[in-house]
Structures are given as C-alpha cells and as structure tokens.
Amino acid sequence: MSYGGRRTITASKVKRCTSADRWRRVVMMRFPMTVLRVVTLAPALLVSFVLTVVVCALLPPALGLVAFLVAAGLLVALALGQFEVPAIATLTRSRPATAAELQVMAPVLAELGGRDVGVDAVFVRRRQGPSTPVAVAIADRAVVVTPGLVAARYRGGVTAAEAAAAMAHAVGRRRAIRPRLELAALAATTPWRLVVATFRGVGRAFAWLPFMRLAWTLRGFVGVICIVQSVAEGRAAPGILGGAVIALTYLVPAANRRIEAWLEAAADQLVVSLGLGSVLAGLLRRHGHPMTLERLQRLETAIEQQPRPQLHLVHG
C-alpha cells in the first residue's frame, strides 16, 4: 500500500483475488503453522550459514576466524537483547524518528494508547519502495513506518485513526506469530535475503528473453529428469540434492503465502476488536490496495455486529 495515487477496487479484481486465495488455502490448509515456519526459516538459516562459512574461508585464516567469531558474538548479543536500537535501524534500513516526526505522529500514538496498544519507539525507513510495508512491528513495542505515512499524516491525507489502524495491523501481525529471537534471526538470515534479492534482480533483468518464463514454469519437470538421470548413472546424491532445491522453489513460496494469509487474518481480527476495522478497510480501498471479498467482509461487517450505544430517556 502506497500513498501516491488513488485507485478503486473493481468487482472483477476482488473475484480474481478471491479465487486465487481460496485455491492457496485449500492446498496449504492441512499443514500446521509450525511446519510452515520451519519450511521457510530452515533453508534461510542453512544457506546463510554456508555463505558465511565460505566468505570467512576465503579470507586470510586469522582474519576469517576473527570475522566468524565477531558474527557469532553479535548474534549472541542480539539474542540477549543487546544493541536493539542500532540493530533495528540496520536490519530495517531505518532510523529513529526525529522530534518533528514524533510530533506529527503523536495523535496516532495517543490513539493507539487509548486502545491499549502501546508503542514505545517509532522508526522511519530511509527508503520507500512500491512494495514497502506501511508499518512493521519489530522487537518489543517498536514500529517501523514509511516516510510516506508520516508525510501523509502531516498533510492531512491520512487521519490519526487511519494511521493508527495501519500500525495496529502491524502490531497484530507480530502478536500472532510471536517470533523468538527476532533480531538475531533477522541478522542471521541476512545473507539469504541478499541472495534472494540478487536473483530477483537478475531475473527481472533477463525477463525479456524468450522462453524465460516457460523455463521457470517447467523447472519441476527438469528436476524430475535430473533425479532420474542421476539415479540411472549411479549418482543419486547430486540428483536428489538438485531435486530438493527445485522442490523448495515450490514449497517456500507456498508456505510464505499461507503464513501471510494467516497473519493477515489474525491482524485484521485485532484491528476489528479495536473498533478500527471499517477505518482500515476505507484506507485500503481509497489507496487501491487489492483485497479479497472475504477480507472486505471481515473488516467491514464484523464491526457492525458489535453492540451499538443506545439512547435512554431519563424521566424526572
């Protein structure tokens, strides 16, 4: 969700999102959330560890050993809760909010505090891309927001209640997953995220080549051939390893989609319980954020089921 232009959500877009979302839920419904999180986190940790060892091995022996020990000590310190502010700023590419930004966001924080959602620290991202989340809750009672949200709040394009709904949704996502050793895990998987970003950039750069999309679509067929050929030649281990890597290109995105759907529903439930469901729905609709029909109903109709205040006449 960005605050550049304004679009409207058409019925066809809602229907397309709904059918795709239903298909994903049917495919991933039987897997427990713990299994899905292991599927997404284990490859990231393994690849990051291997890359760190390789980089340290390429350095001179003494320097490589020092670098490895420093990296391990930093992870231990983050796990123990040390260096929280610089870690958040580095891992999220943000900075602590200035006094002027805090003054702009003060009504929003007051709105959240009045609804028992405490935010002790606000960070502002240094850069904002088209897919940058508006707000992300991280560590203990800290929220990272985009400069676009602060600017929109200052200009009056976003009300205090709308900004509070967006930040409460971010808090709801973190409350739902309850991550352990969050900053340490983010730091440990930094090499994995760099590799993924690099491959995505390369893929976008060569997407214009003919048959590139077809080749990616047929990667499962290539993996099966790789396994069969390796087994036939008596070298089963390389083939199975290559097939497992290709299988992960299916499993990890599917698990991520399921986790995202679960977190979104849990965060929506928190926003609705705070009485901000219709506010968030209006904000998302105004800025053209794609939403499924189920989510629209979850945000807009659930709030109407809550008891409304009644007017009582007092007779003297």
Strands 121-125 and 142-145 turn out to be: parallel
3-state secondary structure of 4: coil
Task: Please give the distance of CA 69 from its chain centroid, rounded to a whole number.
Answer: 30
Residues 6+ apart with CB under 8 A from 238: 230
What is the pLDDT at residue 236? 78
Task: Measure the CA dihedral 236/48/260/270, to 10°.
Answer: 140
Average pLDDT of span 298-307: 60
Which band of pLDDT confidence, cut at 50, 70 and 90, is reported for residue 1? low
Average pLDDT of span 90-111: 94
Distances (CA, A) of 173 to 15, 286, 296: 25, 22, 18
Distance CA 1, CA 76 (A): 35
Rounded mean pLDDT of the chain? 82
Tokens describing residue 211: 């048959």
Q: List, as one string, the DSSP characters of 37-93.
A: HHHHHHHHHHHHHHHHHHHHHHS-HHHHHHHHHHHHHHHHHHHTT-SHHHHHHHHTT
What is the pLDDT at residue 231? 81
Average pLDDT of span 127-133: 87
Closest CA to 143 of 170, 161, 169: 170
Closest CA to 120 of 186, 160, 180, 167: 167
What is the pLDDT at residue 28? 45
Task: Please give the distance of CA 223 from its chain centroid, rounded to a whole number.
Answer: 29
The burial class, CB within 10 Å (0-12 / 13-18 / 19+), for 120 is: exposed
pTM: predicted TM-score of the whole model, two decimal places:
0.77
Proportion of the chain above pLDDT 70, given as a percent: 85
Checking if the pLDDT of 314 tops 80, the result is: no
What is the pLDDT at residue 306? 45
What is the pLDDT at residue 31? 62
> pLDDT tens for residues 21-71?
443 444 444 567 778 888 888 889 998 999 999 999 999 989 999 999 999
What is the pLDDT at residue 8? 39
Distances (CA, A) of 202 to 3, 150, 208, 212: 28, 33, 11, 12
What is the pLDDT at residue 142? 93
* Residues listed for the chain: 316
Encode 123-145: b = buried (16+ Cβ within 10 Å), e = exposed: bbbeebeeebebbbbbbeebbbb
Tokens describing residue 52: 């760190």
The burial class, CB within 10 Å (0-12 / 13-18 / 19+), for 157 is: middle
Average pLDDT of span 262-277: 91
Specify the higher pLDDT residue, 181 or 95: 95
> pLDDT tens for residues 214-239?
777 888 888 888 888 888 888 878 77
Which band of pLDDT confidence, cut at 50, 70 and 90, is reported for residue 267? very high
What is the pLDDT at residue 233? 81
What is the pLDDT at residue 26? 45
Average pLDDT of span 11-18: 42
> pLDDT tens for residues 168-216?
999 999 998 888 888 999 999 999 999 888 888 877 777 777 777 777 7
Which band of pLDDT confidence, cut at 50, 70 and 90, is reported for residue 5? very low
